[in-house]
Amino acid sequence: MLFRFSLRFGGPISLFMKRIALFPGSFDPFTKGHEDIVLRGLKLFDEIVIGIGRNANKARYFPLEQMTRLIEGAFRNEPAVRVITYDDLTAHFARELGARFLLRGLRNTTDFEYENGISQVNRYVYEDVETVFLITSPHLAPISSSIIRDLHRYGQAIDEFVPYPMEEPVRTEV
């Protein structure tokens, strides 16, 4: 197929294809570190899809629907950014979206060790996908979702770490 051929060998048609990147993650919550990766990624890609992975085995602090709405609010003036939740292998979801790039952020060597393995597996599953890593901006390197969750859980204000007005987690279960 010409489409696949041009993708694999970087032929002329691929130059005219929209460059869509999938930025996958848990985003529990989405932080200013994540926002920085998206804003810098917009200089490289035509469209960025923020994909919030559903993980049935992992309870979330901020429910998916709430986090989707908050992230959409943060990018309401940025038409090249979409937010979608998914329940599939990241590589399968990227192929379904027509995304040839996965966008990830690297803060330190621990991130690198983890990301290295994941990116190899993603190319095994979807050989045309390339993972693009952006090194975190130094002032945002200490921010992680797990630290933000802990601060919030114990009543510490976290507004300066997230790109939207923070809310209490919406509890749906009774």
Which two structure tokens, joined as six digits, stand for 140? 């945002």
Minimum distance from residue 25 beta carbon to ligand ADP (Å)? 3
34 tagged catalytic: yes
Minimum distance from residue 26 beta carbon to ligand ADP (Å)? 4
Minimum distance from residue 146 beta carbon to ligand ADP (Å)? 8
Q: 23, 65, 69, 12: which is closest to 45 by C-alpha?
A: 23
* Cα–Cα distance for residue pair 146/61, rounded to 1 Å: 10
Report if residue 105 touches ligand ADP, rule: CB under 6 A. yes
**Residue from 107, 137, 144, 149 carrying the catalytic annotation:** 107
Q: Which residues lie closer than 8 Å to 36 by C-beta, 6 or more apart?
A: 105, 136, 137, 140
Choice between 19 and 133, CB closer to ligand ADP: 133
Q: In what order do the strands lie in the sheet with 130-135?
A: 81-86, 47-53, 20-25, 101-106, 130-135
**Residue from 34, 100, 104, 152 carrying the catalytic annotation:** 34
Report if residue 64 touches ligand ADP, rule: CB under 6 A. no
58 tagged catalytic: yes
Angle value at C-alpha 90, between 85 and 92, nearest 5 degrees: 105
Choice between 34 and 100, CB closer to ligand ADP: 34
**Burial of 97 per CB tally in 10 Å (0-12, 13-18, 19+):** middle
Contacting ligand ADP within 120-159 (CB under 6 A):
136, 140, 143-145
Minimum distance from residue 31 beta carbon to ligand ADP (Å)? 6
Q: Which of 22, 26, 68, 163 binds ligand ADP (CB under 6 A)?
A: 26
Which residues are known to be catalytic? 34, 58, 107, 145
Residues that bind ligand ADP (CB under 6 A): 25-27, 31, 33-34, 37, 104-105, 107, 111, 136, 140, 143-145
